[in-house]
A = this chain, B = another copy of it.
Amino acid sequence: MTYEIEIGRGKRGRRAYSLDDIAIVPSRRTRDPKDVSVSWQIDAYQFDMPVIAAPMDSVMSPATAITFGQLGGLGVLDLEGLWTRYEDPQPVLDEISALEASATSPAATRRLQELYEAPVQAELITSRLAEIRAAGVTVAGSLTPQRTQQFYKTVLAAGVDIFVIRGTTVSAEHVSKSHEPLNLKQFIYELDVPVIVGGAAGYTPALHLMRTGAAGVLVGFGGGATTTTRRALGIHAPMASAISDVAAARRDYMDESGGRYVHVIADGGMGSSGDIIKAIAMGADAVMLGSALARAEEAPGQGWHWGAEAHHAEMPRGDRVKLNTVGSLQEVLFGPAHHANGTSNLIGALRRSMATTGYSDIKEFQRVEVVVSPLEGF
């Protein structure tokens, strides 16, 4: 059923599309933006917008997680980042923002690697989560699969509403000869809180993750701007195709499970409001944003953005990226915009695009008509 290209006589592969390859086309009546709902609910938690702030040190601190929650979204703190490695991470953040600017500087990469060698401290996980909880917003923290067994009891004891397990690639079954890997299905079954897990980028791996009992699946490998995974590992899953594949798995799993709806959350590579909108058009229920939020004045990255890959001990793959600060978090999300490039008033843009195409809620908007039209021809 799926069309495959013959790359050579011995290999076939599908054509995959990035968000830049597609565009939305209005094909119905128009609607008043004020009549459009962009709210999102996962498990018992209700949000005013379908946006999760990515667990990255350049985006989320306890303070920005609180602000983001108060603005109506879900902020996730990286529980293996600087805030759980340092009692006071501010001097470290200041140093990182002052590192040599060159995107490919080996010296900056080396220093990042060193700064992240400080151990994660369980008591800091506890106190950071408590700080967020005290503010009255939904509490969420993330661990990598590698550290989940070591720290999840600390996390649960500290109290989280939503638990995020996020790695470059997470599969439902990890094979290892040297250690007992995390049994995701059993782990999620035993937890009391909803789990969001990923990234995955294909129909089959996403379907397997859905079968573990996850409430949501992250689509992607953690982003575009901050990763050079394709160059280093040859791995790349263009987002438009990946989201659409995982959305198909959601549909099939709903049938197979007798009605369980697993949320599809696009994660990475969405730098502008247009990208967010197109991710939803491809079938996402919500988006996890990194760089788009790192452009806020409050962002701890102070104009810089980096992911966990950037300081990987043996194979750093993501560069620190310099971003322009475009306004407060409030302005980035709701405007008013004074920039014409899709970096502020993200939610206003979503609302307007839905109104222009005549859709009134996020779920309905997943059906909007799109065309394939590479950006270069633009």
Cα-based distance from A281 to B43 in the complex (angstroms): 40
Q: What residue in chain B is nearest A106 (Cβ atoms)? A: B338
Q: Which residues on B sit within 8 Å (CB–CB) of A319?
A: 340
A157 at the B interface (CB under 8 A): no
Max chain B C-beta neighbours (<10 A), residue from A34, A234, A240, A315: A234
- Stretch binding the partner chain, chosen from A253-261, A290-298, A345-353: A345-353
Contact between A345 and B23, CB atoms less than 8 A apart: no
Known: A30-B170, A104-B340, A244-B9. A23 touches B236 (CB 8 A): yes
A284 to chain B, nearest CB (A): 11
Known: A175-B35, A234-B277, A340-B319. A244 touches B7 (CB 8 A): yes
Cα-based distance from A372 to B6 in the complex (angstroms): 10
Contact between A231 and B28, CB atoms less than 8 A apart: no
Max chain B C-beta neighbours (<10 A), residue from A8, A15, A178, A283: A8
Q: Which residues on B sit within 8 Å (CB–CB) of A174?
A: 29-32
- Residue from the list B168, B237, B348, B356 in contact with A371, Cβ < 8 A: B237
Contact between A232 and B201, CB atoms less than 8 A apart: no
Cα-based distance from A204 to B251 in the complex (angstroms): 28
- Residue from the list B7, B18, B181, B276 in contact with A377, Cβ < 8 A: B18
Contact between A371 and B16, CB atoms less than 8 A apart: yes
A176 to chain B, nearest CB (A): 4
Contact between A230 and B23, CB atoms less than 8 A apart: yes
- Residue from the list B7, B228, B230, B316 in contact with A338, Cβ < 8 A: B316
Contact between A15 and B373, CB atoms less than 8 A apart: yes
A288 at the B interface (CB under 8 A): no
Q: What residue in chain B is nearest A271 (Cβ atoms)? A: B231
In the complex, chain A residues 109-158 whose Cβ is within 8 Å of any chain B Cβ: 109-110, 113
- Residue from the list B22, B204, B236, B353 in contact with A373, Cβ < 8 A: B236
In the complex, chain A residues 174-188 whose Cβ is within 8 Å of any chain B Cβ: 174-179, 181
A253 to chain B, nearest CB (A): 12
Cα-based distance from A356 to B199 in the complex (angstroms): 12
Q: Which residues on B sit within 8 Å (CB–CB) of A22?
A: 7, 13
Contact between B228 and A32, CB atoms less than 8 A apart: no
Contact between A24 and B231, CB atoms less than 8 A apart: no
Cα-based distance from A240 to B6 in the complex (angstroms): 11
* Copies of this chain, whole number: 4
Cα-based distance from A340 to B179 in the complex (angstroms): 28
A65 to chain B, nearest CB (A): 27
- Residue from the list B26, B205, B345 in contact with A205, Cβ < 8 A: B26
Q: Which residues on B sit within 8 Å (CB–CB) of A241?
A: 7-8, 371
A189 to chain B, nearest CB (A): 19
A31 to chain B, nearest CB (A): 5
Cα-based distance from A245 to B11 in the complex (angstroms): 8
Q: What residue in chain B is nearest A176 (Cβ atoms)? A: B32
Q: Which residues on B sit within 8 Å (CB–CB) of A339?
A: 104, 106, 109, 316
Contact between A341 and B8, CB atoms less than 8 A apart: no
15 contacts between A and B (CB under 8 A): A2-B9, A8-B241, A8-B248, A11-B283, A14-B372, A18-B373, A23-B236, A30-B175, A32-B174, A32-B176, A35-B178, A232-B340, A232-B342, A233-B349, A375-B377
6 nearest A-B pairs in the assembled complex, by CB-CB distance: A8-B244, A9-B248, A23-B236, A32-B176, A234-B277, A10-B248
